[in-house]
């Protein structure tokens, strides 16, 4: 059974990590979660990013956040990737499988997956 003691252990661990996290590159993954996004399947896409970023060991440098309607509802689920010093990348018609690939190739490997971006649809 999950216990609050486990949560306390997480707290201990995180407090030790705070020092390490400072100065790491700042990448933000933003998932559109308005009615349009949710209806198109944004929830599993968001969850895939949260889990895969953790599995890839990127939790310290990549932040996964939610936003409202990005304005291109027909392309939902839409995911934007902001990296310091680089142009924003907009991935469209996302799925959990594509999210996993984006984590591996783009966030970890540094290579944008052009075929999933808005300029290629």
Footprint of other proteins (CB under 8 A): 1-2, 4, 6-8, 10-11, 13-15, 33-36, 38-39, 43-44, 46-47, 50-51, 53-54, 59, 64-66, 68-69
For the bound state, the minimum distance from the C-beta of residue 87 to other proteins, rounded and expressed in Å, comes to 25
- Pick the closer one to other proteins by CB: 7 or 19: 7
Beta strands in 16-85 (DSSP E): 27-32, 62-67, 79-83
Q: Please identify which residue in the block is written with the tokens 């979660």.
A: 33
Reduced to 3 states, what is the DSSP secondary structure of residue 34? coil
- Pick the closer one to other proteins by CB: 51 or 104: 51
Alpha-carbon Rg for the chain, nearest whole angstrom, is 16
């Amino acid at each position: 059974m999950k216990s609050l003691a486990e949560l306390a252990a997480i707290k201990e661990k995180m407090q030790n990590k705070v020092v390490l996290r400072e100065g790491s590159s700042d990448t933000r993954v933003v998932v559109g979660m308005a009615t349009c996004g949710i209806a198109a399947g944004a929830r599993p896409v968001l969850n895939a990013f949260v889990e895969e970023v953790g599995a890839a060991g990127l939790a310290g440098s990549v932040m996964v956040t939610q936003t409202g309607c990005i304005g291109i509802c027909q392309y939902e689920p839409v995911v934007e990737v902001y990296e310091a010093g680089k142009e924003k990348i907009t991935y469209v018609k996302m799925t959990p499988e594509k999210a996993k690939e984006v984590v591996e190739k783009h966030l970890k490997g540094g290579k944008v997956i052009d075929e999933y971006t808005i300029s290629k649809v």
